[in-house]
Structure 1
Amino acid sequence: MNATNQAQKLSRFDFLKKMGFSGASLMAVYCGVSLSSCTNEGDLAPANAGGPATYDMSTAAYAKLLNKGSFHVDTANNLVIANTSDNGYVAVTLVCTHEGRKEVSYVANKFSCSAHGATFDNTGKALTVASRALTTYKVSQTGTVLTVNL
């Protein structure tokens, strides 16, 4: 190979750059990774992961959970606990599976994310926008105390 041909050779990086890719998209293509949501749900695990979280509904902080349709957001454990009209108590992750935003709440007998309008049924199954279900946790009740197994 002569010096002229050697100078015309491009590295893969230079080729992609000349094709119009730039910034993060160039790195994604060059490194063979795909870009997804900005937050990894695994990074937002409950503070008590592996242990239980308890909520005594006889206290003012959790008393609203005694009412059907009410919910409580536990930001320390990234949970939303709801008193549903059909399944009793349900606990799901606060982190929406659509884009990893911590904006899940409980409205009109379903879980929803205020960021992009994703909705989920009382089992956490995605109804709109999101393609994956919310992570759900087992809830048990003894008297006025709810226990969520994380």
Structure 2
Amino acid sequence: MTRLEFLKSMGFTGSALMALLTSCVHEEDTVVNALSLSGTTTTTPSTTTTGATSSTTTSTTTTSGTTTNGTDLNSIKNRLLTIDLASSAASALKTVGGYITQSGIVVAQSTAGVYVAATQTCSHEPKKAIMFNKTEYYCTQHGARFDLTGKGKNSFGSRGLTVYKTATDGKTLVVYS
């Protein structure tokens, strides 16, 4: 049961529900200073579907900034954030499910070594209320839910969410569009 479901089951609605959902501040809600670093590589999740089951694997290549698909990360011109994963401000990203927000972007470690990023602004109403919740993005203002690709999972999330690409070498994380 999610926090939202629990509070609704207790009878909270409207502004009282929103006040409770946004009243707690977690250590992972910290800000990370963006750094200008280069020479990173991409950690790319790939999903393989066999019958009714699917599995996700991660591949990482560290060869002078070249990713597994041959892209030189030093040539990425549309960087949005560069995060030093060793910094104390990025400590939440060291655990699966941990997330941080910086410059209007939510960055999370979705599975071991795999990072995801999306805009913090909800598409339902333009409020910076998006957070990472275990396996999805969630808007604390209206309950909009989005999968990791940005696709809406309920009526409030029907417009989708802008997601970004991520690249890492294990020490530095780059978010780009």
TM-score by length of 2: 0.53
Task: Give the aligned length.
Answer: 100
- Which structure 1 residue ranges, 5 or more long, are not aligned? 1-48
Q: Deviations over 1:47-93 (max 9, x none)?
A: xx94341111101000220110000111x2x1000111389211100
Does 1:117 pair with 2:143? yes
Would you tell me which structure has more strand in proportion to its own residues? 2
The 8 Å contact of residues 97 and 109 in structure 2, kept in 1 or not, is answered as yes
Give the 5 Å matches for 1:53-64.
53-64=81-92
Q: Which of residues 56, 67, 82 in structure 1 aligns to 2:95?
A: 67
Alignment partner of 2:116 out of 90, 95, 110: 90
Structure 1: distance between partners of 2:144 and 2:80? 28
**Could you tell me how far 1:144 is from its partner in structure 2?**
1.5
CA distance in 1, matches of 2:113, 2:145: 17
Residue in 1 that maps onto 2:127: 101
Name 2:53's counterpart in structure 1.
Answer: none
**Residue pair 1:57, 1:64 contacting (<8 A) in 2 also:** no
Residues 130 and 72 of structure 1: CA distance in aligned 2, closer, same or farther (over 3 Å): same
Q: Which residue is equivalent to 1:126?
A: 152
List, as ranges, runs of 4+ consecutive aligned residues in structure 1 with deviation greater than 2 Å: 49-52
**Contact map agreement 1:97 1:133 (CA 8 A) in 2:** yes
CA distance in 2, matches of 1:117, 1:124: 15
Q: 1:97 to 1:52 in 2, by over 3 A?
A: closer
Name the residue aligned to 2:173: 146
Q: CA deviation at 1:142?
A: 1.4
Question: Match of 1:135?
Answer: 162
Residues 1-20 of structure 1 mapped to structure 2, 5 A cutoff: none
Q: Which has the larger radius of gyration?
A: 1
Name the SS of the counterpart of 1:84 in structure 2: strand
Distance 1:127 1:149 in 2: 24
SS at match of 1:100: coil
CA drift of 1:127 comes to 0.4
Partners of 2:113 and 2:126 in 1: how far apart? 25
